[in-house]
Structures are given as C-alpha cells and as structure tokens.
C-alpha cells in the first residue's frame, strides 16, 4: 500500500470532505496511474483513500474518508447503486437521465448517462480509468441494460495523461436513439453528439420554456446556441407560433430539424440558421427584427476563474444584443455553464447588459441544473449551471 504524506496544515479541505488533493499539498509519496493510495497528514494521521493521478495537478481524488473501507469491486458497485438509488424518487420527466455525476456521487472522474436503453460513460481521471471493466460490469448489472458506450473524449483527459477513447464498451448496435423528455421526442446520437450526446442538465429549463410559451403566448422565439433544438421543441410544444434556431454546428441543426418533424410540428413554424450567434444578433438588430422570447445558452466561456474577465465581456455582449431584440413584455432565458462565473457575477453581467441596452428588466425566475446533476455540499465546484428568466418591463 502506497502512502501520500501531506505537507503541514494541508489536510483542512479533506477534513471538510472536499475530495481533491493538489500536487502542491503533497510532501512525499506517489503511485501508479489510478492506484489506490492512503493519504495521511504531516503527522501521519489517516485522512482518506484515493486514486492517484501521476500527471494531474489534482494528484489524488478521494474514494473514501473511512479508514476501514476497502476500495474494491464491491465498494464501487455500492457507490453506483447509491447514485442510481438517489435518482429513483426524483420522478425525472425523461428517460434521458444522468445516473452518476462524478465527485458529487462519490465517484470522482466518472459520469454516466442513460438514454433509453443505452448507457454512456465518460471516464475523466485515472481512478475510474483503472477500474473501467469493474464499473462497466456493475453498471449493466445494476440497470439491467446490455449496452454501454464510452465517450472518454473530454479534453480534461489530456490533463491526466489519458488518450481519447470512444466506442462500445459493452454490447453494440445503433448509436442513434430517441429519448422522451417532458413528453417530447428528442433524437440524439451518443457517438456523434456533444458531451455524452445531449445536454441533460437543461431539461428543467426546457420544461419551463414550454410553460412560459403557454402562459405568455409567445409568437416569435429566438433560440440561440440551439444545439439539437431542445428549447425550440419546448417552445413549439408550449404553443409558440415560430422559432428561429441558431447554431454554428451543421449536424446539430440537422438533428434539430429532425426533432421538429419527430414531434409533428409544422415545418413552417421553424427556421434554422447555421451561423455565429453574435453576428446573427447584430444582423437582426440592423434589420429591425424583434422577438417575444430569446434563449441564450452559450458553451462554457469561462472554465475557470482565470478566464472570467474575458468571458464576462462575451456574456455581456450577447445579453446586451438580446435585450435590444426583445419586445416589451418579452422574456429572456439566459444561461451560463461556466464554473468560473458564479451566480452573483452572472447576474451583475446581465444587469449591466440590460442597462447598456437601455432596457428595464425584472427577474421572473432563477434556474439551475437538474436534480440528477446533484452538487455535494462539500464540493461546490460541482455547481456550474445558472440561469435567469427575465421579463422586459412593458411600457
Ligand atoms: N441549449 C442547448 C445546448 C447548447 S450547447 C440544449 O438545450 O440542448 C451550446 C451550443 O452552442 C453548441 O451546440 C455549439 O455548437 C453552439 N455554439 C458554440 N459557439 C457558437 C457560436 N459562436 N455561434 C453559434 N453557435 C455556437
């Protein structure tokens, strides 16, 4: 058994239950990639069992804070069972569900999503990488499913010295499938889609969009960064007359178009623009177009606090343009999935965008991720998605 000895006074975050040990906190000790190590304080007291990552700045990710715990197949199976059981009472309105959400489920470096009868796993650090076969078998056994696709192509793998790996890990077959979310059909492809195939974390916000469309009677909706058109389907399902979806990914828009068909909406109610959002918003402004509802769901602009300043300018710019395109009493659904930008800063950015646009707006609702993407209290880094639903004050 290998021991990682920390420098003096570096045990505080572990004692609070935070699951990471940074390289700079370690006085001595090491291990192989993914090997289970015993982490001790400078005084030699037991702190945690964790998985060693020789190349990562996050050198150890904790499996357990219990000294009596053996890290073996039974332990990992129990963590998976616990994660799946946590979701059972949530009554999630979809068969597309996140079953394992990394650190917040006590399984650092592992994400597992279920799309109908397909499981998709992402192994992002050395610990789960080493236990891949055990985790895959346990997942099939616990869910009763037979197919597991691996999407270990997250860029963070490089920080761990791990290569990108994709393909069927268990079973085989079509990678395209259809999930049923909030009563709608949404097609996706677990091999070709972003992340593990779809943005499951925006399920509740899409559900809210349908409700707002119903209550406010939106005529013209603009869905920016639409990906495969989830918010567009939601708006049409809520009765919106017409939705314009913008994305810079052609394949995503093709699927968005297919998703409109799949739900039986008149093709004339949807327009698709394969274009840059920023340029499109400027063009609409020049053309004098306006909308009753606008969605802004950009990709992660600030992965860490270090990127926050430049990202803040980018967020402000698109939000300012969106406010200018919004009709009085119109509704803006604006999001940030940047871990480096907290909700307080995001709200300030949006406020200053409204002020620059000369628009008075009120917050109708605050949104976050979905309950199947839980945040462990000891791991606030796990919380990344925030959303504001704002109404331009009429008159
Ligand atoms: N709202 C979507 C998820 C959006 S993910 C949903 O509910 O599923 C962000 C999307 O922004 C991706 O599809 C990506 O292709 C697109 N994108 C990134 N940069 C862009 C840009 N500059 N202009 C247009 N689309 C962009």
Residue 115 CB–ligand 1 contact under 6 Å: no
> What is the reported pLDDT for 395?
76
Residue 350 Cα to ligand 1 middle (Å): 19
Evaluate whether 351 touches 305 at the Cβ level (below 8 Å): no
Give the pLDDT score at 240: 98
| Residue 370 dihedral angles phi and psi, to the nearest 5° | -105, 165
CA distance 18 to 51: 14
Nearest atom (ligand 1) to Cα of 206: 7
DSSP letters of 188-236? EETTTSSTTSS-GGGHHHHHHHHHHHHHHT-SEEEEET-TTTHHHHHHH
Kindly give, in sequence order, each residue whose CB lies less than 8 Å from that of residue 56, ignoring residues fewer than 6 positions away.
23, 125, 126, 159, 160, 161
- Digit-by-digit pLDDT tens for the chain (395 residues) are 899 999 999 999 999 999 999 999 999 999 999 999 999 999 999 999 999 999 999 999 999 999 999 999 999 999 999 999 999 999 999 999 999 999 999 999 999 999 999 999 999 999 999 999 999 999 999 999 999 999 999 999 999 999 999 999 999 999 999 999 999 999 999 999 999 999 999 999 999 999 999 999 999 999 999 999 999 999 999 999 999 999 999 999 999 999 999 999 999 999 999 999 999 999 999 999 999 999 999 999 877 778 888 899 999 999 999 999 999 999 999 999 998 899 999 999 999 999 999 999 999 999 999 999 999 999 998 999 999 999 999 97
126 counts as catalytic = no
Residue nearest to atom 16 of ligand 1 (CA): 225
| Atom number, ligand 1, closest to the C-alpha of residue 247 | 25
- List Cβ neighbours of 247 (8 Å cut-off, separation of 6 or more): 225, 226, 227, 253, 256, 273, 274
User: Ligand 1 centroid vs 338 CA: distance in angstroms?
Assistant: 14
Q: Is 247 in the pocket of ligand 1 (CB under 6 A)?
A: yes
What the block records as the tokens of 219 is: 């005529």
Nearest to 182 by CA among 263, 244, 66, 125: 263
pTM confidence score: 0.97
Structure tokens at 18: 């935070």
Ligand 1 pocket test, pick from 201, 210, 235, 248 with the greatest ligand atom count within 8 Å of Cβ, gives 248
What is the Å distance from ligand 1's center to 41 Cα? 44
* Two tokens, residue 103: 């650190």
CA distance 57 to 26: 11
User: Quick check: CB of 323 below 6 Å from ligand 1?
Assistant: no
Query: Does the beta carbon of 248 sit less than 6 angstroms from any atom of ligand 1?
Result: yes
Residue 94 DSSP class: B
Residue nearest to atom 18 of ligand 1 (CA): 299
pLDDT at residue 120 in the model: 98
Confidence at residue 118, expressed as pLDDT on a 0 to 100 scale: 98
CB count in 10 Å sphere of residue 52? 24
Residue of 298, 311, 338, 387 to mutate, ligand 1, most atoms within 8 A of C-beta: 298
Q: Is 23 in the pocket of ligand 1 (CB under 6 A)?
A: no
**Closest of 77, 174, 169, 195 to residue 116, by C-alpha:** 174
Distances (CA, A) of 204 to 140, 185, 198, 309, 372: 27, 15, 14, 29, 11
């Amino acid at each position: 058994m290998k021991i990682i000895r920390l420098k003096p006074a570096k045990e505080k975050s572990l004692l609070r239950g935070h699951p990471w040990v940074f390289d700079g906190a370690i006085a001595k000790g090491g291990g192989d990639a993914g090997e289970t190590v015993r982490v001790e304080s400078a005084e030699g007291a037991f702190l945690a069992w964790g998985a060693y990552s020789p190349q990562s700045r996050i050198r150890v990710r904790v499996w357990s804070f219990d000294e009596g715990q053996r890290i073996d197949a039974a332990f990992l199976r129990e963590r998976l069972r616990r994660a799946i059981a946590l979701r059972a009472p949530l009554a999630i309105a979809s068969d597309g569900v996140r079953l394992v959400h990394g650190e917040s489920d006590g399984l650092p470096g592992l994400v597992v999503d279920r799309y109908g009868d397909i499981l998709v796993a992402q192994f992002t650090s050395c610990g789960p990488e080493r236990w891949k076969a055990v985790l895959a078998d346990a997942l099939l056994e616990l869910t009763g499913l037979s197919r597991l696709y691996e999407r270990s192509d997250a860029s963070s793998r490089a920080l761990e010295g791990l290569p990108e790996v994709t393909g069927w890990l268990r079973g085989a077959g079509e990678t395209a499938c259809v999930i049923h979310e909030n009563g709608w059909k949404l097609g996706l492809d677990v091999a070709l889609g972003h992340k593990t195939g779809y943005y499951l974390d925006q399920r509740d916000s899409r559900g809210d969009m349908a409700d707002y469309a119903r209550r406010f009677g939106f005529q013209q909706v603009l869905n920016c960064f639409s990906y495969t058109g989830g918010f567009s389907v939601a708006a049409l399902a809520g009765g919106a007359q017409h939705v314009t979806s913008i994305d810079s990914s052609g394949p995503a828009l093709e699927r968005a178009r297919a998703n409109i068909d799949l739900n039986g909406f008149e093709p004339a109610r949807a327009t698709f623009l394969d274009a840059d959002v920023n340029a499109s918003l400027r063009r609409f402004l020049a053309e004098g177009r306006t909308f009753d509802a606008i969605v802004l769901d950009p990709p992660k602009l600030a992965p860490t606090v270090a990127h926050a300043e430049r990202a803040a300018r980018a967020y402000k710019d698109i939000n300012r343009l969106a406010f200018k395109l919004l009709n009085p009493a119109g509704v803006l659904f604006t999001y940030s999935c940047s871990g480096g930008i907290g909700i307080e800063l995001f709200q300030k950015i949006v406020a200053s965008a409204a002020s620059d646009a000369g628009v008075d707006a009120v917050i109708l609702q605050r949104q976050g991720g979905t309950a199947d993407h839980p945040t462990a209290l000891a791991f606030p880094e796990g919380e990344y998605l925030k959303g504001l639903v704002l109404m331009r004050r009429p008159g």
